[in-house]
Amino acid sequence: MSTPFLSVRDLTVDFHTEDGVVHAVDGLSFDVEKGTTLGIVGESGSGKSVTNLTVLGLHNPETSTISGEIRLDGEELIGASRSTMEKLRGNKVAMIFQDPLTSLSPYHTIGKQISEVYRKHTGASRAEARARAIEMLTRVGIPQPKTRVDDYPHQFSGGMRQRAMIAMALVCDPDLLIADEPTTALDVTVQAQILDLLKDLQDQMGTSIILITHDLGVVANTAHEVLVMYAGRAVERGSVKEVLREPRHPYTWGLLASMPRLSAPVDVQLRPVRGTPPSLINVPTGCPFHPRCDFMEVAGPELCRSERPELSPHRGHGDACYLTLAQKREIHK
Amino acid sequence: MASRKDDTPREATAKGPSGPRSGPSHLGKQAMLPFITRRTLGAAVTLLIIAAVTFFLFFAVPADPARLACGKVCPPDLLEQARHNLGLDQPLFAQFVAWLAGIFVGRDYESLGHCPAPCLGYSFVNREPVFETILDRLPVTVSLTIGAAVVFLVFGLATGIVAALRQGKPLDKIASVASLIGASVQIYFIGTLALYFLVYQNQILQRPQYLPFTENPIAWASGLALPWVVLAIIFTANYTRMTRSTMVEQLSEDYVRTARAKGMSGRSVVMRFALRGTLTPIITIFGVDLGTLIGGAIITETTFGLQGLGRLSIKAVWDSDLPLLMGTVLVAAGAIVFFNIVVDVLYAFIDPRVRLS
Amino acid sequence: MKVRTRSAMAVLAIGALALTSACAQGNQGAPAAPSGSAGASAPAVEPYKAPTITVGTAEDSKGPAIEPEGVVKGGTVTMIDRDDFSHLDPGQLYVNTETNFSLLIARTLTGYKRTDKSEYKLVGDLATDTGTPSDGGKTWTFTLKDGVKWEDGTPITSEDVKWSMERTFASFITQGPTYIQQWLTDVDHKKAYQGPYDGKRLDSIETPDDKTIVYKFKTPHADANYAFAMGGYGIVPKAKDTKEKYDKAPVSSGPYIIKNHVVDKSIDLERNPNWDAATDPIRGAYPDKWRLEFGQEPLQITDRLMADTGPDQTAFTFYATVPPERLQQVLGDPALAPRLMKSPSPYGNYYYFNLDRMKDQKVRQAINYAWPSKQIQQTMGGPAAAALPTTILNENTTVGYQPYDLFGKTTKPEGDIEKAKALLAESGNPTPTIVYAYNQTPVQEQITVVIKSALEKAGIKVVAKPLDRKTYYDSIGLVKNEFDLYWGGWGADWPSGSTVMPVIFGPIADGAPNYSHLKDEALTKKMNEIIAMTDIDAQNAAWMALDKEIQETITPAVIAENRIANTLHGSKIGGAEIDPQSWVVQPNRIFVKQ
């Protein structure tokens, strides 16, 4: 097998706070192939966003400790120089954020915000950059882009802002786009539009996408691969089909059960995962999910409490749980 | 997040003026003109009320300016004469109306002749025209204020930014302590000390004096250097603290993160993105400080022996010099009101959201 | 003729608060030195010698002035003060700083010539001598000197002198002295005559020729020659009188001309080529140029003069006294001693009893005995900062001054509690309660505490009533005030009881300076008799005797502490002295050392 486009191995991110060390990411590994979409799913605080900000090197080196490796197109990013990272960001790797209103500068026009990325990375002239910004706005479907290029973010609607964000992210034809909950702040109808847009752009430009979401529905429609994260670790990994059809980890089951489905009868009650996400300062020993797990008795409580389950098998559809495959199938019926 | 679910295309309603060169100032002007007009009218009313209150309060205090304008030996006929000469024998309301009218159409005085508009009357004490006296003192106070303001704004912002970027580091802590000390000292204390040691005892700095900028900018600056520094020591603190805390907040804003994610250099992120948001609260206190300082840096001017508006107003109070008092109050209040408007206009230039709403 | 109806409080008292160093009057700026330390560490205070003032002869009236030792002519002298002069028109001058400055640009008929340290003579300034009285002191005749000229070279005539007096009757003149005007016409002098501008002249001043001027008063005034020395009677040229505008641009008859005046900032003087030193026994006019700077606080002025560097070496101040925060430092530095000038205030300062309420003389005397003079002196900064007078008339401004001490202030300055108790026991009420009103300033607060504790030791309960400083005089000036004891001051206009006694024990009215409300037919009669005396020496002796008699038989006041001005000058200034009468540094003898 060829080297994946993005390869993350044993990534650990610790933050040093006044309350103690926050183990935000703990031994995470995953790959993203060229032109594919990886969906990363998990609750808030599961380490999804932290992981991706790490890829861009956006953590304050003074308050965080990062180890492991992140290889982008064969280039090691951990420990890379500031200028290397600055050249990379917005250029080879771009990112779009959850709330386009707060993520766009209120003080600068949309056009300015798009064109400055382009100028920074390509050295284009002001006029070229402006033309490029208009072109990008056209591509993301902003009507009257020649006019709207001079608008400020607050003059845009929510969906348009996210389109503008995407235009900004894609202006330099990045190889990898990290979309951090790009639709969470948007209307349902708009969500679909934005996701379709991302798909179209991926088809046109061959961009790899990491789509961070807590919504398995979004993943189902958009992603090729899925990574389920819990307490800074991967608990399940596989293709969309595998994970959604045959989920193996009790946490994934929980996520699916808490998700409304159009196919299910209306009166079926949604079952949220019980309990609360664990503290990342005092992560539970063993399987971090064990305090919330309904199947610990089946798997063996001693083991669950004391030893950390590894993701297995290494390739393909894997999960980190002590239940046997048979038990999993039985329970998930 | 629910509140942001607004995807109704607004093309139809929010069509700004188009064209590649339609910069912020152009956008601003449209909304700005009626805004400034409205604020100016409001300011005029405010000033009128302040003037009226000052005027009538003056007479509520039993000190009699006519008695001061009458010699040590002051028989009733002389007192009456003095009262008449000062126009104090007129009904109060008529006096106020005459004063007010003088500003717009000028006034005629029995003994001193015509006082052209804008006429603020003649001083009770030395019979100098108040308007000209104020015009004469204004450059001193303005120079004092502007010079000091440049120093404390630049230093305040710089130290605040550095402290914000070096949170918890020794530099940040030094800045915090220094600003605490700066905020707690008084001008007449460090001013007098500075004068004593730097000027009188060691001649390190020049004795503070005002020389017109237009004549010799270098002499102007060196004459005011000491008061600027002393004022700056006291004022910088506030700006450091404010800049630091706002900057820290701004640096954690989403759009600042976006800027970094776009590959903007650290410096450009701070200067172009984070600073922009930091300026808003800074401008607010800056406007207030400027207004207050122009209105009269009384203690500063007294400490350094500068003849500005502050000392003029003190003199007016001591001498029960009503026209001078009214004039200085009007200018002081005017300065505060003016800078309030300027701050509001500046908000709009800094933040397009204010501009267009 | 009496000086009557002086309804308003003195400029010396009110105006002084803001305008002049006479604000020392109210102890506004009096030092708050730690008590006890002052007297001990300071160098021994040499006994103060009050000035001797005599009347000089025609020979004494000839110029030039007596030169100070080591005098150098030429150079530029700098004067630094806080406030500019509100008036330059002689007719508007009363405040001591203004009349002092006017010595440089305006002359009077008579003036004071310094003949030696603490010795002064009243001499003719424009006049050849101090005038000749006739008709029992009702008529005074002066002859002008030859060679006295205005700045434009035209001679000063008797018509100018007459005009100068007449114009002070005009409505725009409200601030100057009014003694002579009243003597010439009536108490309501402005009603009697409205000035010369409408063509009407005053018959009571005659000018038989260009050199002779005759004043005809309605009543005798043996001390009129002193009155003519007041700066407010400086002369104005008839030909160049611009009425109220004259205040801005006066014409000089003195040794200097105002070359440039930036209001509240500076005045530049240069020599008047038409002033002839040979005609002037008073003014030395040694420097070529004067530079007056305004706008500096006493603290800065003191610091500059202490530092004594560069141009400040040739600087002095008319009236900026060493402020409390520098006083001990200045007094304790022997290097500054040659540059330190001292003089006790020429004003009378009193704690007046309100006789309408404090009717028992025994109680008033008891308070006098119990008075903690020494403690108050310490609060004010020690013996170097305050003197303890014992008489109503001030030694600096009283010709023929005779000291007396009725209440043991000299022997027991800390107060005689036993004696006070004994007197209280004899009185109708051995434990009286009195209301003491005071001007609410930090120093006065401290002094009030001192007074309260001393009087309470004697068994007198003191209710202290603070008054707002801006309206202090209005409050105590009310006849029907609710206070028993309060501070007040009065300054003599020339060195005679005539300008003090008939005023502070004169008519009772709201705002009038008779704060003790002393009304005694016999006393009034006696004062009128003294004023009418034609022998000036007998008159002065009679005032002095009356001074003691009033304190003995009526005791209307406690004589208050008297502030001592301490003022520095630069090291290259010679001839500088505080004038004992005006209490400001007089310019006549100042020169610039090379």
- pLDDT, residue A265, reads 62
**H or E element in which residue B192 lies:** helix B187-194
In sequence order, what DSSP letters do the residues of C57-83 get, joined into one string? -TTTTSSSPPPPTT----SEEEEEES-
pLDDT in tens, chain B (357 residues): 333 333 333 333 333 333 333 334 344 445 677 888 888 899 999 999 999 999 998 888 767 788 888 877 677 778 888 888 888 998 999 999 999 999 999 998 877 788 888 999 999 888 889 999 999 999 999 999 999 999 999 999 998 998 888 877 787 888 888 877 877 778 888 888 888 888 887 878 888 889 888 999 999 999 999 999 888 888 888 898 889 999 988 888 889 889 988 888 888 888 888 888 888 889 988 988 888 888 767 888 888 888 899 989 988 988 889 999 999 999 989 988 998 888 888 888 888 887 665
How buried is residue C509: exposed, middle or buried, by Cβ count under 10 Å (0-12/13-18/19+)?
middle
- pLDDT, residue C8, reads 31
Chains B & C: contacts with CB separation below 8 Å: 126
Residue A150 and residue B20: Cβ atoms within 8 Å?
Answer: yes
| Torsion angle in degrees (nearest 10) through CA of B216, B221, B227, B229 | 180
Average pLDDT on C315-341 reads 93
Closest-approach residue (CA) in chain C for B83? C174
Residue B127 and residue C14: Cβ atoms within 8 Å?
Answer: no
CA angle B94, B98, B103 (to 5 degrees): 155
- Asked if B174 reaches chain C (Cβ–Cβ under 8 Å), the answer is no
Write the residue in B73, B82, B305 that is nearest to C178 by C-beta. Answer: B73
- Asked if B332 reaches chain A (Cβ–Cβ under 8 Å), the answer is no
- Asked if C243 reaches chain B (Cβ–Cβ under 8 Å), the answer is yes
Are residues C177 and B77 in contact, defined by beta-carbon separation less than 8 angstroms? no
Query: Which residue is it, tokens 């002298």?
Result: C77
Write the residue in B4, B10, B260 that is nearest to A58 by C-beta. Answer: B260
Residue B307 and residue C265: Cβ atoms within 8 Å?
Answer: yes
Rounded CA separation C217/C198 (Å): 23
Residues from chain C that touch B303, judged by Cβ atoms under 8 A, are: 297, 300
Partners of chain C (3+ Cβ pairs below 8 A):
B
In sequence order, what DSSP letters do the residues of B113-167 get, joined into one string? EEEPSSP--B-TTT--BHHHHHHHHHHHHHHHHHHHHHHHHHHHHHHHHHHHHTT
Residue B18 and residue A146: Cβ atoms within 8 Å?
Answer: yes
Residue C94 and residue B311: Cβ atoms within 8 Å?
Answer: no
- pLDDT, residue A262, reads 60
Percent of chain C residues topping a pLDDT of 70: 92
Closest-approach residue (CA) in chain A for B169? A62
Look up residue A296 and give its amino acid. M
Residue A106 and residue B353: Cβ atoms within 8 Å?
Answer: yes
Residue C33 pLDDT greater than 50, yes or no: no
CA angle C163, C164, C168 (to 5 degrees): 105
Q: What DSSP designation does A228 have?
A: E
In chain A, which residues have pLDDT < 50? 1
Question: pLDDT tens digits, residue range C49-107?
Answer: 889 999 999 999 998 999 999 999 999 999 999 989 989 999 999 989 999 999 999 99
Look up residue C421 and give its amino acid. K
Calculate how close chain B gets to A325, using CA atoms only, in Å.
40
- Asked if B211 reaches chain C (Cβ–Cβ under 8 Å), the answer is no
- pLDDT, residue A271, reads 72
- Asked if B73 reaches chain C (Cβ–Cβ under 8 Å), the answer is yes
**Pairing between strand A176-180 and A208-213?**
parallel
Residues from chain C that touch B201, judged by Cβ atoms under 8 A, are: 307
- Asked if B267 reaches chain A (Cβ–Cβ under 8 Å), the answer is no
Q: What's the token pair of residue A63?
A: 């308050």
- pLDDT, residue C181, reads 95
Calculate how close chain C gets to B253, using CA atoms only, in Å.
51
Residues from chain C that touch B69, judged by Cβ atoms under 8 A, are: 174-175
Write the residue in C18, C178, C188 that is nearest to B319 by C-beta. Answer: C18
Residue C13 pLDDT greater than 70, yes or no: no
Q: Is the peptide bond before A260 cis (omega within 30 degrees of 0)?
A: no
Strand order across the beta sheet in which C340-344 lies: C340-344, C562-568, C386-387
Residue C551 pLDDT greater than 70, yes or no: yes
- Asked if B29 reaches chain A (Cβ–Cβ under 8 Å), the answer is no
CA-wise closest residue to C295 among A17, B314, A15: B314
- Is the pTM of the predicted complex or chain greater than 0.80? no
Are residues C188 and B77 in contact, defined by beta-carbon separation less than 8 angstroms? yes
Partners of chain B (3+ Cβ pairs below 8 A):
A, C
Band (pLDDT 50/70/90 cuts) for residue C486 is very high
Residue C175 and residue B203: Cβ atoms within 8 Å?
Answer: no
Residue C83 and residue B315: Cβ atoms within 8 Å?
Answer: yes
CA-wise closest residue to C63 among C147, C153, C151, C156: C147
- Asked if B352 reaches chain A (Cβ–Cβ under 8 Å), the answer is yes
Half-sphere exposure of C492 (CA within 13 A, CB side): 26
Residue B78 and residue C87: Cβ atoms within 8 Å?
Answer: no
Residues from chain A that touch B356, judged by Cβ atoms under 8 A, are: 152, 154-155
Residue C219 pLDDT greater than 60, yes or no: yes
Which positions ≥6 away from A113 have C-beta within 8 Å? A104, A105, A164, A168
Write the residue in B19, B253, B266 that is nearest to A102 by C-beta. Answer: B253
Q: Do chains B and A touch (3 or more CB pairs under 8 A)?
A: yes
Please report the beta strands in chain B, taking only residues with DSSP state E, as ranges in sequence order. 107-109, 113-115
Residue A89 and residue B277: Cβ atoms within 8 Å?
Answer: no
Question: pLDDT tens digits, residue range C349-359?
Answer: 999 999 999 99
How buried is residue C206: exposed, middle or buried, by Cβ count under 10 Å (0-12/13-18/19+)?
middle
Are residues A45 and A277 in contact, defined by beta-carbon separation less than 8 angstroms? yes
Rounded CA separation A153/C295 (Å): 56
- pLDDT, residue A229, reads 92
Percent of chain C residues topping a pLDDT of 90: 80
- Kindly report the backbone phi and psi dihedral angles of residue C205, in degrees, each rounded to the nearest multiple of 5, phi listed first: -115, 125
Question: pLDDT tens digits, residue range A161-211?
Answer: 988 999 999 899 899 999 998 888 778 888 888 888 888 889 888 899 999
Residue C23 pLDDT greater than 80, yes or no: no
Residues from chain C that touch B73, judged by Cβ atoms under 8 A, are: 3, 6, 8, 94, 177-179
- pLDDT, residue B280, reads 86
Q: Do chains A and C touch (3 or more CB pairs under 8 A)?
A: no
- Asked if B26 reaches chain A (Cβ–Cβ under 8 Å), the answer is no
- Asked if B76 reaches chain C (Cβ–Cβ under 8 Å), the answer is yes
3-state helix, strand, coil in chain B (%, to 5): 70, 0, 25
Closest-approach residue (CA) in chain B for A87? B263
Rounded CA separation C319/C300 (Å): 13
Rounded CA separation C583/C580 (Å): 5
Residue A150 and residue B22: Cβ atoms within 8 Å?
Answer: yes
Write the residue in B20, B258, B351 that is nearest to A130 by C-beta. Answer: B20
Write the residue in B16, B265, B351 that is nearest to A107 by C-beta. Answer: B351
Are residues B335 and B294 in contact, defined by beta-carbon separation less than 8 angstroms? yes
Question: pLDDT tens digits, residue range A25-37?
Answer: 998 999 999 999 9
